[in-house]
Amino acid sequence: MIEKLQIIHPEMALFAATCIVLLIGLSGRSALRSACAPLTGVALLAAAWLGLQSPGADSELMQGMPFPGLLPYAKTLIALIGLLILPMLAGTVDRSYEKAVERGEVYNPMRSTRGEFYAFFMLSLIGVMLCATADDLIWLFLALELTSLPTYIMVAMSTSRLRSQEAGVKYFFLGAFGAAMFLYGFALLYGATGSTFLSEIREAMAEPGGAGPMAMLGLVMVIVGVSFKIAAVPMHFYAADVYQGAGTTVAAFLAFAPKAAGFFTLLILLGAVGWTHGPNGDALPPELRVILWVIAALTMTIGNTLALLQTSVKRILAYSSVAHSGYMLVGLIAGPGAGSIASNGLAAMLFYLLCYGVMTTGAFAAIAALERRAADGGREEIDSIEDLRGLCRVYPLVGWSMVVCSLSLLGLPPLLGFFGKLMLFTSAISAGEIVLVVVMGLNSAVAAFYYLRLAGYPLLEQRHDEAESPTLTPAPGRRLAACVAAVGVVALVVFISPLQRASHEATQLTPLPAVVEVKPASEAEVARR
Amino acid sequence: MSLWTHIPGAFSTLAATGVDAGVVDIEMGRPLFLLIPALPALAALLCGLYWALGVKSKFPAWTTVAALAGSFAVTLVAYFEIAAPGLTHVVHGFRWINIAFGAAGGERMLFVADFSLYIDSLTVLWMLFVTGLATLIALYASEYMSDDVGPGYCRFFFAFSLFVVAMACLVMGDNLLMLFLGWEGVGLCSYLLIGYFFKKPSAVNAAKKAFVMNRIGDLGLMIGIMLAFLHFGSLRYEEIFAQVAILQQDGGDLAWTIKAIPYLLLVGAIGKSAQLPLFTWLPDAMEGPTPVSALIHAATMVTAGVYLVARMYPIFLLTPESLTLVAWIGGLTALVAATIGMAQYDIKRIMAYSTVSQLGFMFLGLGVLTSVGAAFHVFTHAFFKAALFLCCGAVMHGFAGQLDLRKLSGVQFMKGWGIVGVAMFVGCINLAGLPFTAGFFSKDMILAEAFTTPGFTALGVIALLTAGITAYYTFRVYFRVFLGPQHFEPGDELHGHDEHDHDDSHGDDGEAKTHDDGHAHDFHPHPPGWAINTVLVVLAVGSILAALAYVFPRETGGWVKGLISTSSAAGAAHHDHEASFFGLGDPHKVMYYVSGVIALVGIAIAWWLHLAGRTTAATSRADAIKQKIGPVGRWAERKWYFDEIYDFLFRYPLLIFSHIFYLFDKLVIDGLVDLFGRSPRSVGAGVRPTQSGGLQNYAMGMAGGLAFIIVVAWLVVWRMSS
């Protein structure tokens, strides 16, 4: 039994660190308090390493799971993107309070939020990892909520301004609404199949007539409910308001963690349904395919068109993250394909998640690295696209990170985003989803409009007024995160083949064992006899 | 990059996927040959690195020369291992594209393209002169571009190396998609290099013109490639040739979509090789630095069209009418370009029109079924035209950008210009087709075949006339610039006199302008240094020795013939053996005398008009003739108004349309976009002030969305069950 814990070793490491961070975050000694972030970093490194050691497809423990090879890829990916986001969290909370303490104010643990901030950050990541590990509906629900609940609080505490608290509350209520939706879906699914275990649900669905209306309604509700996590239409409304209200650093985290959790959930649940329907026997059941199709097409289109006329960089990036969810859904629709890497839509989705995590973190980190004079005389994070003017000349590292990451989000070859998108395209073509590919292509073209603005303002425009222009924040970690992400966007291109192969192996679907038992006749049939 | 890691496993992949069927005996080649594109690619990367590091020496040039020389050496190995014994090898690099697709329920199709090389004698012939000339011209450019040492120098050699990579893809690719990749790649490099002096508006315009005109051709090529895939289910040469062979045996009617393929490919070839009606970009492309003109716009890239036709010869032979069109396009282009060349004063432009004209000859050769003649002419032309361009470049370099033949005279006898003069003379006799030169033999093969093939006599006469005109305008340049009284006026780029920026000193129109006399007095032409002279000597000797390839080795009827006859371009010529040149006998024999005499007459006229009794640089006896024929000379000088006609027919209507569309876009589309874009924002702004209002709205939206999705799902189920 104890060896079963192997599958949650990374979570355990993170949780241990979470407990320590909670404690030392309250310490009266500032040196110990400031050890929170490094400790989180060490824990994430350990989690990444343990994630690599996670039991894979060849392990006994994973037999019966739909995706036996998923864990090493998923956990390492989550830990590493977390590690990328971590340096940019520096200076998000307690900045003014720590200054006051330095000036001689008496330290009051009640006013310090540092420990809980990093603890919530790790708890949320634990939630994402648990989503990928789940083999049971209850577990899945708890994991999803573990991902989201800390983020509600992180949003509220991310700045001292009122609008962050407003965003946090808004996010919480709407999140609860979404959670209710997919919980209802889970209940229906349990009602239809009689089990909460994914492996049993899978077998029940594979039986003739197993995917009945109730199970389908349940799945539809789950998909729509989880759409909240991935900010897909029709659950995308909150994204722009919440991202804008939250501090930039937390917005970056929101753009990745809940989204990853949502996609892992969809992957696992749809894996339980299987891509065995349709005329060629390689598609989702038609009703699921159609609603995912509609959601994907609407999500990318609405996301991109809403981003077009925005002038707030955070809102642009929020809508861009909506649009990217639409792209990734295409991979889910395409399914596991015929065996080659290029036709594996699930691998494309996972690979794109990696690309997206790096690119979007880089873009957020670049704007988080800058601040400007606020109306009340203090310093505030920049938000307007005007603040990006001439950045490449004044702060070349930050400016170029912004340019490279936006161009990669746009999908310009030879950057990382291009290869991610290419894989989605090839898998969708292989699955015969030509219309969806066209929609996606058109959307990529539309998206160029605002991504090129994000790249053009730093690169080509001139600054107007030096005094009013933004300056670097005192937290160098944010610059570091931006640069690392930008370098990753360029350098990971070299490792595309192994990464794609890894995502391909992670998404190998266990074939269902042939149904040998004869199903006992149902009551209705008995009555007919 | 990472994709190269697949190379070691190449054979197993190929065997596993079972792509080794074909009619010709095709063997797996050694991965060594992948170095031919890889070495220049490495050089391009290094030049980019030098640029980033801010290298301010001639390092980029030496890197490029070394890499290209390496490529040439590997090509030589390929020649001795593959081409000389008449084999065909395929070298597998990596799987490039592998997509299975098909409509739901329909037939699944596989689209597979490998990064593989198809090496046969045609490929090797092309790569020999591409890599060889590229090496020499890079050496030449190391000196020629020395005024730009720094970022510009890195940029130049980056694009130069990249061009060779793209050309290698084009020529050596084992499928049409690789050819297309290279095709676009050389187009891009050509664009970058024509626009090298990007501060000069005329250079930028020329670059754009070349790019746009090539797009027209590329569209044809692309549709042709798509049709080929649709019909043959593959883009690999060996599979296409196998299927074409079957079609040829079966005979019978072909689908019009197959018949259209050669015509569409021809459109591409016309664009790239500057044939009628898409030839006007090539003369303007002379805005680029001269080494670029020599390599890309004379010797190699522009022959890509000829290569395409030669490579896909089996498809062209399937519909012989398409070859008739090839012949007529070639013949007419040769004549029109030659007549324009007669009337130009800018020596580089004369050479450009002569390139267009000679490419016309090559197309004519392909059209009259002498692929050997065409390939031989490509080969000899590459040498002597490169030599001619480089001589013009040396003159331009030495006389501060002066290219007007009315302002230069007697250069041959100036101190330090002897080698340039001799190399120019060698190039000129080749281009003019003086007997026993390489150019004479290769042109003769095409001329003779035009008279041998039934139905092409009229074209033969046109070609003979063109040959005469060619001899005249070639020697017009030589007699005006290199012989006669010594005189010069420098151009407006005063190299080496002060440190001013090369790019900025140009006038607006890029034509060499006269300067006030003050400049001329302190100006001393600086003769070429060792690099330029060495290259010129090698090219001149090469041009002379190329003639031997017509005669030796005797068993195969000449070196080029031996190479071509073992490749897919070996044409099945149906000659009329009874053919006679206007009753004088076998055209193959008579043509030696006829074309020799015509060349000599052309040269003699040039001598009489432009050298005999000429005392100044600016005037000659030809001026009087120009007076007499009135406006015709001016028409020719203005290129028969081709540009103006195109402007009238295409550019202005397109401009008008674009203005209409712009207005439509501005008023209707933008309005709609604004409407769609702004409405959510205004709605958002409306509900934002009250916190609870926003929340409820969002929740309403989410619930409504759920309802909508459930309805959609229900509709799907309902439609399926009914």
> Is the bond into B314 cis (omega within 30 degrees of 0)?
no
Q: What is the pLDDT of residue B251?
A: 72
Q: For residue A119, give both structure tokens.
A: 């603890």
- Contact criterion met (CB < 8 Å) for A177 and B699: yes
Give B102's pLDDT tier (boundaries 50, 70, 90): low
Residue of A nearest to B696 (CA): A174
- Contact criterion met (CB < 8 Å) for B103 and A434: yes
Q: What is the pLDDT of residue A349?
A: 95
- Contact criterion met (CB < 8 Å) for B713 and A288: yes
Residue of A230, A290, A292 for testing the chain B interface, max B β-carbons within 10 Å: A290
Q: What mean pLDDT, rounded, does chain A reach?
A: 88
| DSSP reduced 3-state for B576 | coil
Query: Closest by alpha carbon to B451, among B550, B336, B331?
Result: B331
Q: What's the sign of the alpha-carbon dihedral B20, B24, B29, B34?
A: negative
Q: What is the pLDDT of residue B638?
A: 75
Contacts of A343 in chain B (CB under 8 A): 99-100
pLDDT at A321 over 90: yes
Q: For residue B651, give both structure tokens.
A: 């550019």
Q: What is the pLDDT of residue A259?
A: 94
Q: For residue B356, give both structure tokens.
A: 């267009």
Contacts of B688 in chain A (CB under 8 A): 241
Q: What's the sign of the alpha-carbon dihedral B659, B664, B665, B666?
A: positive
Q: What is the pLDDT of residue B518?
A: 41
Any idea what DSSP says for residue B638?
T
Any idea what DSSP says for residue A283?
B
Q: What is the pLDDT of residue B495?
A: 45
Residue with tokens 């005279």: B409
Q: How far is CA A293 from CA A181, A219, A261, A368, B157, in A?
A: 20, 15, 20, 35, 49
Contacts of A340 in chain B (CB under 8 A): 98, 100
Residue with tokens 């349990």: A190
Residue of A nearest to B690 (CA): A166
Summarize the confidence of residues B401-420 as an average pLDDT.
82
Summarize the confidence of residues A164-174 as an average pLDDT.
90
Summarize the confidence of residues A395-402 as an average pLDDT.
92
Give B507's pLDDT tier (boundaries 50, 70, 90): very low
More confident residue, B483 or B504: B483
* Beta carbons within 10 angstroms of residue A397's beta carbon: 17
* Beta carbons within 10 angstroms of residue B623's beta carbon: 13
Residue of B nearest to A429 (CA): B101
Element (DSSP H or E) covering residue B109? strand B109-119
- The complex scores an ipTM of 0.81
pLDDT at B496 over 60: no
pLDDT at B1 over 70: no
pLDDT at A257 over 90: yes
Q: What is the pLDDT of residue B277?
A: 83
Contact B329, B411 (CB under 8 A): no
Q: How far is CA B173 from CA B17, B21, B72, B274, in A?
A: 19, 17, 17, 23
Q: For residue B425, give both structure tokens.
A: 């003379």
Give B634's pLDDT tier (boundaries 50, 70, 90): confident
Summarize the confidence of residues A249-255 as an average pLDDT.
94
**Which residue among B676, B705, B710 sits closest to A235, beta carbon to beta carbon?**
B705
pLDDT at A273 over 60: yes
Q: How far is CA B155 from the centre of its chain?
A: 20
Beta-carbon contacts of residue A106 (< 8 Å; ≥ 6 apart): none
Summarize the confidence of residues B5-30 as an average pLDDT.
44
pLDDT at A507 over 50: yes
Q: What is the pLDDT of residue A442?
A: 86
Q: What percentage of chain B exceeds 70 in pLDDT?
A: 86
Beta-carbon contacts of residue A406 (< 8 Å; ≥ 6 apart): A363, A451, A452, A454, A455
Q: How many residues does chain A have?
A: 529
Any idea what DSSP says for residue A197?
B
Q: Which residues, in sequence order, are bridge partners of residue A371?
A: A381, A471
Q: What is the pLDDT of residue B572?
A: 54
Any idea what DSSP says for residue B301?
G
Q: How far is CA B89 from CA A486, B95, B182, in A?
A: 42, 17, 20
Give B20's pLDDT tier (boundaries 50, 70, 90): very low
Beta-carbon contacts of residue A292 (< 8 Å; ≥ 6 apart): A223, A284, A329, A332, A333
pLDDT at B687 over 60: no
For B192, half-sphere exposure in the C-beta direction (CA atoms, 13 angstrom radius) is 17
Q: What is the pLDDT of residue B506?
A: 42
Q: Which residues, in sequence order, are bridge partners of residue B94?
A: B115
More confident residue, B172 or B14: B172
Residue with tokens 């033969």: B460
Contacts of B677 in chain A (CB under 8 A): 305-306, 308-309
The Cα B620–Cα B604 span in angstroms is: 15
Give A516's pLDDT tier (boundaries 50, 70, 90): very low
Summarised one tens digit per residue, pLDDT across range A404-447 is 999 999 998 889 999 999 999 999 988 888 899 999 998 888 88
Cα maximum dimension of chain B? 103
Contacts of A310 in chain B (CB under 8 A): 681
| DSSP reduced 3-state for B486 | coil
* Beta carbons within 10 angstroms of residue B663's beta carbon: 10
Q: For residue B41, give both structure tokens.
A: 């690619």
Element (DSSP H or E) covering residue A159? none
Phi first, then psi: give them for residue A380, nearest 5 degrees: -135, 160
Summarised one tens digit per residue, pLDDT across range B532-582 is 888 889 988 988 888 888 877 777 777 777 777 777 777 655 555 566 666
Helix B457-477 to helix B438-452 angle (10° resolution) is 160
* Beta carbons within 10 angstroms of residue B530's beta carbon: 9
The Cα A389–Cα A384 span in angstroms is: 10
Summarize the confidence of residues B501-527 as an average pLDDT.
49
CB burial string B469-505: b at 16+ within 10 A, e below:
bbbbbbbbbbbbbbbbeeebbbbbbbbeeeeeebeeb
Q: What is the pTM of this model?
A: 0.66
- Contact criterion met (CB < 8 Å) for B100 and A338: yes
pLDDT at A59 over 70: yes
Contacts of A280 in chain B (CB under 8 A): 104-105
Contact B240, B315 (CB under 8 A): yes
Rounded to 5°, angle at Cα A377 from A371 and A381: 20
The Cα B241–Cα B258 span in angstroms is: 13
Contact B155, B60 (CB under 8 A): no
pLDDT at B5 over 60: no
Contacts of B701 in chain A (CB under 8 A): 234, 237
Contact B50, B59 (CB under 8 A): yes
Q: What's the sign of the alpha-carbon dihedral B344, B349, B354, B359?
A: negative
More confident residue, B386 or B566: B386
Query: What is the nearest CA distance from B162 to chain A, expressed in angstroms?
Result: 16
Element (DSSP H or E) covering residue B108? none
Q: What is the pLDDT of residue A503?
A: 92
How far separated are the first and last CA of chain A, in Å rounded?
Answer: 47
pLDDT at A378 over 90: no
Give B443's pLDDT tier (boundaries 50, 70, 90): confident
Residue of A nearest to B681 (CA): A306
More confident residue, B454 or B326: B326
- Would you put residue B18 in left (φ > 0), alpha (ψ -120 to 50) or beta? left
**Which residue among B2, B98, B705 sits closest to A497, beta carbon to beta carbon?**
B2
Residue of B nearest to A225 (CA): B706
Q: Which residues, in sequence order, are bridge partners of residue B620?
A: none
Q: What is the pLDDT of residue A60?
A: 82
Do the bridges between strand A379-381 and strand A471-472 make them parallel or antiparallel, or are there none, so unpaired?
unpaired
pLDDT at B250 over 90: no
Helix extents (H) in B581-669: 587-610, 622-629, 631-637, 642-646, 652-664
Residue with tokens 């505030």: A380
Contacts of B698 in chain A (CB under 8 A): 170, 174, 237-238
pLDDT at A521 over 80: no
pLDDT at B610 over 90: no
Maximum mean pLDDT: which of A244-258, B11-25, B655-669: A244-258
Beta-carbon contacts of residue A273 (< 8 Å; ≥ 6 apart): A202, A205, A211, A219, A284, A285, A288
| DSSP reduced 3-state for B171 | helix
Contact A238, A308 (CB under 8 A): no
3-state helix, strand, coil in chain B (%, to 5): 70, 5, 25
**Which residue among B1, B103, B709 sits closest to A220, beta carbon to beta carbon?**
B709
- Contact criterion met (CB < 8 Å) for B713 and A305: no
The Cα B198–Cα B181 span in angstroms is: 25
Contact A427, A334 (CB under 8 A): yes
Q: How far is CA B629 from the centre of its chain?
A: 35
Query: Closest by alpha carbon to B28, among B5, B6, B39, B12?
Result: B12
The Cα B344–Cα B473 span in angstroms is: 9
Q: How far is CA B334 from the centre of its chain?
A: 16
- Contact criterion met (CB < 8 Å) for B702 and A278: no
